[in-house]
């Protein structure tokens, strides 16, 4: 059960408990206070009819009020359950890109990602259509003007990752002292903005129009990397906010998660647009069967608003560093 769904049901149960022990007016006020936003407004309890001023009539009035409050609370709980059911259905409904496919928990995304994983790992899989990338900087310059790489530190949102992985932490240094290099290409039909070093690539902003004649973004990324570094040293590819989630119920912005190699979620992630790009970088940059995407780590960042970040760990199949 999702956290949102759990909160709604808990609120409904709380309203029921309050109403069972309080008079009608108090139960009505408290249950309305407990109701979460954007959910059905609780039905107001009708005031009990006064039977008289005597003590016996007063007891009957209080008893009737409590019964009415209890019945109202039951009705409110039913409304909570109905709202919760609708939310649960919405959260588990496949996205447009994850159409249901028999045998796959995450539908088309998982099936496509599984195929890309097989392409990366099995050089004998003849269904693979992605070839080793031969694009060079000279080729790129015949069509665009990428200019020269600038000295640049990695984005602040990745600082914890840089420290955790033991990469150069140069956030307190001037950019010209950095080991990292950045490229910024902004053309009419494509855009590439990112930072790299021999062991890592950070994708900050990449775009390619549908009618573009530009090379694929995976090939452009590899051409920029190979112009300065040896691709065989590449071990990490960071997605700094370019995130396409599988569904709302799979990844929450306030959670960190590791997507292990070969699991359904891992395959589904490779089936997304960003997963496709990273898979093609690996397929185009390494001999098939020699490297793999070992795991994917996701985490949130609030420095620039709620943005999900990702890290794809690339490892040699033979276990060497």
The structural domain count of the chain equals 2
Looking at the domain assignment, is residue 306 inside a domain?
A: yes
- At 103 the pLDDT is 87
Residue-number span of the structural domain to which 70 is assigned: 3-92
First to last CA, the chain: 40
Residues 67 and 106 in one domain: no
The three-class DSSP label of residue 269 is helix
Looking at the domain assignment, is residue 187 inside a domain?
A: yes
Residues 70 and 100 in one domain: no
What is the C-alpha separation between 226 and 279, in angstroms, rounded?
17
Residues 293 and 305 in one domain: yes
Looking at the domain assignment, is residue 321 inside a domain?
A: no
Domain end: 92, 122, 145, which one?
92
Looking at the domain assignment, is residue 103 inside a domain?
A: yes
Residues 128 and 261 in one domain: yes
Residues 174 and 279 in one domain: yes
Residues 175 and 35 in one domain: no
Looking at the domain assignment, is residue 249 inside a domain?
A: yes
Domain end: 92, 112, 141, which one?
92
Looking at the domain assignment, is residue 40 inside a domain?
A: yes
**Which among 155, 247, 145 is positioned nearest to 203, based on CA atoms?**
155
**Which among 101, 207, 194, 111 is positioned nearest to 153, based on CA atoms?**
194
- At 10 the pLDDT is 44
Q: Please, are residues 178 and 222 in contact by the beta-carbon 8 Å criterion?
A: no
Q: Please, are residues 283 and 128 in contact by the beta-carbon 8 Å criterion?
A: yes
DSSP code per residue over 21-40: HS-HHHHHHHHHHHSPTTSP
- At 21 the pLDDT is 43
pTM of structure: 0.67
Looking at the domain assignment, is residue 222 inside a domain?
A: yes
Helices (H) and strands (E) in the chain, counts: 9, 8
Residues 168 and 268 in one domain: yes
What is the C-alpha separation between 60 and 20, in angstroms, rounded?
16
Residues 65 and 211 in one domain: no
Residues 209 and 311 in one domain: yes
Residues 138 and 220 in one domain: yes
Q: Encode 94-121: b = buried (16+ Cβ within 10 Å), e = exposed.
A: ebebbeeeeebebbbbbbbbbbbbebbb
Domain end: 45, 67, 92, which one?
92
Looking at the domain assignment, is residue 69 inside a domain?
A: yes
Residue numbers of the chain with a pLDDT score lower than 70: 1-98, 172-173, 175, 242-255, 301-307, 320-321
Q: Which residues pair with 239 in a beta bridge?
A: 203, 310
Residues 76 and 110 in one domain: no
- At 8 the pLDDT is 41
Per-residue H/E/C for 75-105: HHHHHHHHHHHHHHHHHHCCCHHHCCECCEC
Q: What is the dihedral of CA 110, 92, 239, 300, to 10 degrees?
A: -150
Q: What angle do CA 303, 177, 310 make, to 5 degrees?
A: 35
Residues 101 and 86 in one domain: no
């Amino acid at each position: 059960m999702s956290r949102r769904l759990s909160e709604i049901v808990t609120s409904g149960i709380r309203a029921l408990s309050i109403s069972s022990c309080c008079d009608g007016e108090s139960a009505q006020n408290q249950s309305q206070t407990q109701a979460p936003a954007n959910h059905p407004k609780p039905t107001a309890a009708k005031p009990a009819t006064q039977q008289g001023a005597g003590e016996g009539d007063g007891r009957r009035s209080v008893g009737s009020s409590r019964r009415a409050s209890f019945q109202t609370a039951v009705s409110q709980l039913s409304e909570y359950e109905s709202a919760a059911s609708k939310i649960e259905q919405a959260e588990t409904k496949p996205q447009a890109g994850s159409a249901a496919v028999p045998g796959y928990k995450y539908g088309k995304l998982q099936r496509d990602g599984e195929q890309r994983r097989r392409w990366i790992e099995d050089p004998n899989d003849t269904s693979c259509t992605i070839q080793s990338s031969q694009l060079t900087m000279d080729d790129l310059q015949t069509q665009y003007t990428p200019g020269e790489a600038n000295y640049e530190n990695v984005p602040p949102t990745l600082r914890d990752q840089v420290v955790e992985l033991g990469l150069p932490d140069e956030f307190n240094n001037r950019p010209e002292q950095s080991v990292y290099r950045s490229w910024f290409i902004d053309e009419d039909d494509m855009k590439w903005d990112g930072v790299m070093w021999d062991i890592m690539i950070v994708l900050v902003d990449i775009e390619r129009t549908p009618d573009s004649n530009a090379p694929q973004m995976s090939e452009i990324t590899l051409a920029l990397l190979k112009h300065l570094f040896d691709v065989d040293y590449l071990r990490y590819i960071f997605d700094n906010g370019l995130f396409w989630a599988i569904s709302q119920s799979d990844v929450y912005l306030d959670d960190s998660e590791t997507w292990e190699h070969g699991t359904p979620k891992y395959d589904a992630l490779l089936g997304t647009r960003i997963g496709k790009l990273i898979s093609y970088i690996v397929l185009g940059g390494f001999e098939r069967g020699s490297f793999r995407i070992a795991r994917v780590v996701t985490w949130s960042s609030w420095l620039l608003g709620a943005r999900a970040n990702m890290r794809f760990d690339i490892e040699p199949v033979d276990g060497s560093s």
